[in-house]
Amino acid sequence: MGHAPAPLPIDRAAETFVQSVRGRVIRPGDAGYETARRVYNGSIDRQPRLIVQCADVADVVHCVNFAREQGLAPAIRGGGHSVPGFGTWDDGIVIDLGRLKGIRVDPARRVVRVEGGCTWGDVDHATHAFGLATPGGIISTTGVGGLTTGGGFGHLTRRYGMVCDNLLSADVVTAEGALRTASAAENPDLFWAIRGGSGNFGVVTSFEFRLHPVSTVYAGPILYPLAQSAEAMRLFRDFMKTAPRELSAFFAFLIVPPGPPFPEHLHMKTVCGIVCVYCGDPDAGEAVTKPLREAVPPLFALTGPMPYPVVQSMFDGLLPPGLHHYWKADFVNDLTEDVIADHVKYGPRIPTVNSAMHIYPMDGAVQDAGKDDTAFPYRDVRYTHIIAAVSPDPAPMPENRQWVRDYWEALHPKSAGGAYVNFLMEEGEERIARSYRGNYRRLAAIKAKYDPGNLFRVNQNIKPAP
């Protein structure tokens, strides 16, 4: 019996691999490497060994097989928005899905099939033509891939559920290089796991989502003076408890951007505000949101009817790629008086016009699913907050990070324990486990079935159960 041939040296194996790929393979020293290795968060500075801009599903299969055979860590890149920078990895192989942009809307069945490299802007554009939409993230440049596999929520979530609740099926390239369908009928354990379990289970090359009739919404920001922040926060809390599900709104501390549509006297002023989106009849939206414009007198309100994709891209200009990000987050059961006091203390210290503290509602249709119906487990809390320091200049980031940490440390003891995985930085195994609550063990068992060698480890990692 002959012995197994010695593994090819990486360079020879890489040449063979490069020839089998239809997309572009970029290596250190190649033209374009410096741009291609970068992701959305400008603070991330990693040097992958290979970057593959996949042209099709076959390329993804080749990448997964090559990574496994060569012991390279694969970094899956959808939209590249992961703030810990999981779309690029030192000495790893980047599986960049950015060229997989196909979208097929089926208006009769009210479903859309979306390839793994699409952003929410791509999806909203395609479905809006048919007067349809599915819940997606609130910045149009965010990727469908990372957001959906982490759970995902946005302006339509109170009415239509988490993004992952609208997922009907997905094509997944798993660690052994097989393409599997994950749905309620096929590989249901995998389907359960990719609805919240992040990129731990394979590369999703396409997603099929349920669509809903959403076209013109009544939406926009309402800004209040800082001196009124406790009152505005109480208004938000009390109002949302009885607001119809068609209404989504988040509370924010922010610095007013220095340009239209904001009036000049407010430019660069720190304020608080509520951004609302009513996805039912726009006239009803005006009436429903009236208390937000009247119960606490606003400095400025820019609410009105607008196409859904307009509100979905309203804040894109503040968050171009390449800025430096540092975030911390938690879920919280209620905006009690002591929680409000912390916000009133730290929120006004927001450091830059790109930074924000947001409180998003997690009620309504989020809670129609049970804690273990999907891997995403937070079906019983009212809010999630995120404290995000964002700056074009790296110099003030140490100070900005300190603002985030001080703010978060004050609030964390009053929180529900874990955080939304898509809002975590690299915060350690215990925090990941806590964020999956009672679902962690089942996730670890499914991980052991589909990825026993933990090939997909560039993520909020779930270790395979022994």
Ligand X SMILES: Cc1cc2nc3c(=O)[nH]c(=O)nc-3n(C[C@H](O)[C@H](O)[C@H](O)COP(=O)(O)OP(=O)(O)OC[C@H]3O[C@@H](n4cnc5c(N)ncnc54)[C@H](O)[C@@H]3O)c2cc1C
DSSP codes joined into one string, 77-104: ESSS--TT-TT--TTSEEEE-TT---EE
Side-chain half-sphere of 378: how many Cα atoms within 13 Å?
A: 29
Instruction: State the sign of the Cα–Cα–Cα–Cα dihedral 156, 160, 164, 166.
Output: negative
Shortest gap between Cβ of 327 and ligand X (angstroms)?
8
- Which CB, 172 or 296, lies closer to ligand X? 172
Query: Given the rule CB under 6 A, which residues bind ligand X?
Result: 39-40, 75-83, 86-87, 97, 116, 137-139, 142-143, 145-147, 149-150, 152-154, 198-199, 203-204, 319, 422, 458-459
- Which CB, 197 or 298, lies closer to ligand X? 197
Three-state SS for 125? Answer: helix
Shortest gap between Cβ of 376 and ligand X (angstroms)?
10
- Which CB, 171 or 246, lies closer to ligand X? 171
- Which CB, 60 or 340, lies closer to ligand X? 60
- Which CB, 89 or 299, lies closer to ligand X? 89
Give me the helix-helix angle, 10-20 and 57-70, nearest 10°.
Answer: 170
- Which CB, 116 or 298, lies closer to ligand X? 116
**CA 314 to CA 157: how far, in whole Å?**
18
Residue 452 CB contacts under 8 Å (≥ 6 apart), including other chains: 175, 464
DSSP letter for 31, please: T
- Which CB, 114 or 271, lies closer to ligand X? 114
Shortest gap between Cβ of 143 and ligand X (angstroms)?
2
On whether the CB atoms of residues 53 and 98 are closer than 8 A, the answer is yes
Shortest gap between Cβ of 421 and ligand X (angstroms)?
9
Shortest gap between Cβ of 154 and ligand X (angstroms)?
5
**CA 269 to CA 111: how far, in whole Å?**
43
Shortest gap between Cβ of 233 and ligand X (angstroms)?
20
- Checking phi first, is residue 364 left (phi over 0); if not, alpha (psi -120 to 50) or beta? left
